[in-house]
Structure formats: structure tokens, C-alpha cells
């Protein structure tokens, strides 16, 4: 959906080109038809075309149609919406986020953390140097990560997790375990305590509480979050589903015991909703493995059981509020359900951000405009993971306009 297409009809008996533009009088490409895909199901594709004559001709019968996909306008629309919403309507919050959170050290291009494939160092060289003398994590969790990751991967995990704010770059060639390291980073981030409310802000009393906090005229309430929440993104559905599959198969480490926490609801029903995959569930967009934690699938299961009498927005908000890991493509980070959550929290005085961190895998395959779709949620910590030696996304005019250097 959202793709811009160019159409032409195959017409028999035309020796000059055997084809003509739809809705045109001379049959040339210059008079062709453009259309936008509005809906796709298993058998049909619905297209909104730009000319009435073309719509009449397309609807006159079953005719062979050739079309070329030119661009995905949905991504461009969400990029523009993210820039408008974040950098124009909420300027004061964005200024504070840029100066205090995104670039706290005033370094535009931080030094990337380099991964290596030195498997022999795993579990035999003690803790990574960055972890020595640090007590934010339990010894059990440190031992679990030490046994599963080599020294360079441990360095990346603890360096990113300890940062809590700013932007971190993680790079490495194929085979160095970038996605594997992302799973370990998620464990370390979720093991940290939830963000505390700022001074002068009180948390909502828990159900059944017998006493209420003393209030001052300036006191404000915000909903208490029992855990941290991480947004995982990738430029493509295939890349995102690879991360989801890794998380489902390996789980994450428990912050207290260091044991694995199952994320697959088919193995442990108690894990249902802990990991969410957002996006369309059609075969071409989401793998069968990732579909088990799809937000749409989980909501449909609740509807069939009669367990969700609420409307769709309320059900979506309930799932997102309880989720610890939310996975979506960079374009999907601009979905209404996520934007609505961020906007709601932004309106609560002293409320923590919707996500404590955004992790983008395969970031070198994305451009800055796509990254802004995810950054509109104003996360305190952003981690970009990729291979700098890969070809960057194809763009026109980057060198001429001085945009050939990327933050990815």
C-alpha cells in the first residue's frame, strides 16, 4: 500500500509498440496513467488513478495491464509527518532533546563501536573492561552475557546500555554477530530500573493503596511504568523479522537470575504481549514466525475469545503499555498507534518517554529521513547498528548537495 505506480495496457494488433498509455488519446507514454495503491489483499489490488478516463478504461473489462512501481509514497508521507510533528509543532521539547539527549557531548559523529568475530575470547577473558566496577547489573546477568558473547560484543552491549542517553554507533562486517549483539543489548537495557519521575512529580497510587501521597499545589501525577520499553527498527520487513525470530528463539536474560526469559507465546503463554511486532500481516510483509507476536493477530485472538470488549485504540494502547519490546520497520514507526502513544505521554507533565531506547538494525541501509520517523518518539538513547562497508541507499544528488556523509 502507498506505492506510486505507472500503468499501461497491452493491446493486440499494435505493431508500433503493442502497448498504449491508459486513458490517452495518442497511446504514448507521455499520456500514461499514474495511480496509488490504496489496499491489497490476497487476490486483489485496489488503485486510485489520476484520470477519470483511465478509471473508466480499467473498469471496462478484464484487460492485461503492465505497471511499474515508482516509489513508496507512504514512507515519504510519514517522513514529512514526523518532521512536521516533531520539529515544528514541538520546538521547545525537540531543542532540549537535541542538546541534552541526542548529542549530550556535542559530538555530531561519535566513534563507532567495532565488533570482531573472535569467538575464542567468548567466556574466557572475564568481563569486558567497561563493566569492571559497575554495579547497575547483577552478577548473574553479567555472567550470563559473558558466557554468550565475546569481548568486543560485551564492550558494545555495556557501552550502549550504560550510555542511557545520546547516540551510539555499532558496526561490524558480516559474521561478527551484530543482530546477536542487539539481542544482548536488549537484555541489558530492560534490566535497568524504569525511569523515575522528576522532582515534584508523583506516581499514580497503585490499586488497593490505603494511603495517598501528600500533595502540594504544584504536584503532578504521571502513570508509573513498571519496566523499560525498547523500540526495535529495521529498514525492511525481512531484516526486522530476522531480529524477531532471534528474540523468539533465544529469549532475553532475566535481570535477577541470568536465566533465559521466553518471549514466544506458543511456548510460554505468560510471555504473550511481552514482544510485539507491528505491521501488515500479509505473507509478503511478515514471516509466519513473526506473525505469532503480531499486534493485529493478538488483538484478533482476543476478539474471537471475547476477551477484548474495548475499541481498537484502547486495545492497542493496552498491548503497547504492557509490552517491553516493540518491533517495527522504520516506516512503521510512524504508524498512528505509536504516534498516538507518544503524543499522549507528551501531554502528561513529567511523564517518561514512550520508549527508553530506539535500536535500528541495518541502519546503513536507511537514510536520515527514514530515521526521523523513529526519532520523532524522542528516545533518550538511539543505537544505530550496521556495516559501513555496505552500499548505502541509492539517492540522487547527495554529492552535489553535500549530503554524501551519513550519520548511519
Residue 120 is predicted with a pLDDT of 46
Terminal Cα distance for the chain, rounded: 27
How many Cβ atoms sit within 10 Å of the Cβ of residue 404?
11
Are both 295 and 348 inside the same structural domain?
A: yes
Is 301 among the domain residues? Answer: yes
Is 138 among the domain residues? Answer: yes
3-state DSSP helix/strand/coil % of the chain, to nearest 5: 35, 20, 45
C-alpha to C-alpha distance for 80 and 288, rounded to whole angstroms = 32
Q: Domain end: 58, 75, 92, which one?
A: 75
H or E element, residue 189? helix 178-191
Are both 130 and 69 inside the same structural domain?
A: no
Alpha-carbon Rg of the chain, whole angstroms? Answer: 24
C-alpha to C-alpha distance for 357 and 348, rounded to whole angstroms = 19
Better pLDDT: 339 or 96: 339
Residue 403 is predicted with a pLDDT of 59
Are both 261 and 339 inside the same structural domain?
A: yes
Whether residue 126 has pLDDT greater than 90:
no
Whether residue 124 has pLDDT greater than 80:
no
Least confident of 15-19, 256-260, 316-320: 15-19
Average pLDDT over the chain, rounded to whole?
77
Question: 272: Cβ–Cβ under 8 A, 6 or more apart, which residues?
Answer: 265, 298
List the alpha helices (DSSP H) in 173-236.
178-191
Average pLDDT over residues 247-254: 94
Better pLDDT: 250 or 403: 250
Are both 185 and 257 inside the same structural domain?
A: yes
Whether residue 381 has pLDDT greater than 80:
yes
C-alpha to C-alpha distance for 392 and 390, rounded to whole angstroms = 6
Query: Sorting pLDDT into bands at 50, 70 and 90, what band is 216?
Result: very low
Are both 52 and 129 inside the same structural domain?
A: no
Is 83 among the domain residues? Answer: no
Is 391 among the domain residues? Answer: no
Residue 53 is predicted with a pLDDT of 57
Are both 43 and 126 inside the same structural domain?
A: no
Phi first, then psi: what are they for 97, rounded to 5°? Answer: -65, -40
Residue 352 is predicted with a pLDDT of 78
Phi first, then psi: what are they for 4, rounded to 5°? Answer: -90, 125
User: Highest mean pLDDT: which of 68-82, 168-182, 345-359, 360-374?
Assistant: 168-182
Tens digit of each residue's pLDDT (9 = 90 or more) over 346-369 = 656 567 788 999 999 999 888 888
Residue 79 is predicted with a pLDDT of 81
Question: What CATH code is carried by the domain that includes residue 380?
Answer: 3.40.50.300
Are both 242 and 377 inside the same structural domain?
A: yes
Are both 161 and 286 inside the same structural domain?
A: yes
Whether residue 231 has pLDDT greater than 60:
yes
Percent of the chain whose pLDDT exceeds 90: 32
Whether residue 198 has pLDDT greater than 80:
no
Least confident of 57-71, 121-135, 215-229, 230-244: 121-135
Are both 333 and 292 inside the same structural domain?
A: yes
Residue 128 is predicted with a pLDDT of 57
Are both 238 and 354 inside the same structural domain?
A: yes
Range of the domain at 44: 3-75
Strand duo 357-360 + 381-386: pairing:
parallel
Contact 327, 301 (CB under 8 A): no
Residue 220 is predicted with a pLDDT of 47
Residue 47 is predicted with a pLDDT of 82
Whether residue 15 has pLDDT greater than 70:
no
Residues, the chain: 408
Is 85 among the domain residues? Answer: no
Residue 217 is predicted with a pLDDT of 45
Is 363 among the domain residues? Answer: yes
Grid coordinates given for 24: 490517452
Whether residue 307 has pLDDT greater than 90:
no
C-alpha to C-alpha distance for 390 and 361, rounded to whole angstroms = 13
Residue 309 is predicted with a pLDDT of 59
Tens digit of each residue's pLDDT (9 = 90 or more) over 93-108 = 666 666 666 666 655 5
Residue 101 is predicted with a pLDDT of 64
Nearest to 340 by CA among 319, 324, 359: 319
Is 330 among the domain residues? Answer: yes
Whether residue 12 has pLDDT greater than 50:
no
Better pLDDT: 146 or 60: 146
Is 176 among the domain residues? Answer: yes
Burial class of 75 by CB neighbour count within 10 A (0 to 12, 13 to 18, 19+): buried
Are both 261 and 188 inside the same structural domain?
A: yes
Are both 170 and 51 inside the same structural domain?
A: no
Tens digit of each residue's pLDDT (9 = 90 or more) over 83-93 = 777 666 566 66
Q: How many domains does the chain have?
A: 2
Grid coordinates given for 363: 541502519
Residue 294 is predicted with a pLDDT of 93
Amino acid at each position: 500500500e502507498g506505492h506510486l505506480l505507472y500503468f499501461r495496457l497491452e493491446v493486440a494488433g499494435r505493431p508500433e509498440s503493442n502497448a498504449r498509455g491508459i486513458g490517452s488519446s495518442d497511446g504514448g507514454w507521455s499520456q500514461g496513467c499514474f495511480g496509488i495503491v490504496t489496499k491489497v489483499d490476497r487476490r486483489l489490488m485496489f488503485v486510485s488513478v489520476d484520470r477519470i478516463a483511465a478509471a473508466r478504461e480499467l473498469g471496462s473489462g478484464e484487460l492485461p495491464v503492465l505497471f511499474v512501481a515508482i516509489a513508496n509514497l507512504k514512507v515519504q508521507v510519514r517522513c514529512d509527518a514526523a518532521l512536521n510533528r516533531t520539529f515544528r509543532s514541538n520546538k521547545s521539547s525537540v531543542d532540549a532533546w537535541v542538546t541534552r539527549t541526542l548529542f549530550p557531548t556535542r559530538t555530531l559523529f561519535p566513534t563507532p563501536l567495532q565488533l570482531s568475530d573472535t569467538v575464542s575470547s567468548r567466556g574466557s577473558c572475564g568481563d569486558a573492561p567497561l563493566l569492571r566496577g559497575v554495579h547497575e547489573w547483577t552478577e548473574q546477568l553479567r555472567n550470563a552475557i559473558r558466557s554468550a558473547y565475546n569481548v568486543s560484543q560485551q564492550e558494545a552491549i555495556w557501552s550502549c546500555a550504560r550510555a542511557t542517553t545520546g547516540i551510539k554507533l555499532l558496526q561490524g562486517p558480516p559474521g561478527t554477530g551484530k543482530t546477536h549483539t542487539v539481542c544482548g543489548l536488549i537484555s541489558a537495557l530492560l534490566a535497568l530500573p524504569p525511569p523515575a519521575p522528576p522532582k515534584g512529580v508523583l506516581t499514580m497510587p497503585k490499586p488497593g493503596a490505603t494511603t495517598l501521597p501528600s500533595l502540594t499545589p504544584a504536584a503532578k501525577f504521571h502513570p508509573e511504568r513498571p519496566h523499560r520499553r525498547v523500540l526495535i527498527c529495521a529498514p525492511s520487513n525481512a531484516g526486522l523479522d530476522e531480529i524477531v525470530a532471534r528474540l523468539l528463539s533465544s529469549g532475553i536474560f532475566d535481570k535477577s537470575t541470568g536465566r533465559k526469559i521466553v518471549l514466544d507465546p506458543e511456548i510460554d503463554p505468560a510471555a504473550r504481549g511481552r514482544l510485539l511486532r507491528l505491521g501488515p500481516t500479509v505473507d509478503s510483509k511478515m514471516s509466519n514466525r513473526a506473525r505469532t507476536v503480531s499486534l493485529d493477530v493478538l488483538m484478533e485472538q482476543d476478539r474471537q475469545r471475547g476477551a477484548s470488549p474495548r475499541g481498537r485504540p484502547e486495545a492497542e494502547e493496552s498491548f503497547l503499555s504492557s509490552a517491553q519490546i516493540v518491533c517495527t520497520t522504520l516506516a512503521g514507526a510512524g504508524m498512528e498507534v505509536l504516534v498516538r502513544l507518544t503524543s499522549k505521554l507528551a501531554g502528561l507533565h513529567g511523564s517518561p518517554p514512550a520508549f527508553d531506547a530506539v535500536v535500528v538494525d541495518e541502519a546503513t541501509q536507511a537514510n536520515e529521513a527514514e530515521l526521523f520517523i523513529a526519532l520523532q518518539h524522542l528516545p533518550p538513547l538511539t543505537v544505530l547498528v550496521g556495516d559501513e562497508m555496505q552500499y548505502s541507499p541509492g539517492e540522487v544528488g547527495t554529492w552535489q548537495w553535500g549530503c554524501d556523509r551519513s550519520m548511519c
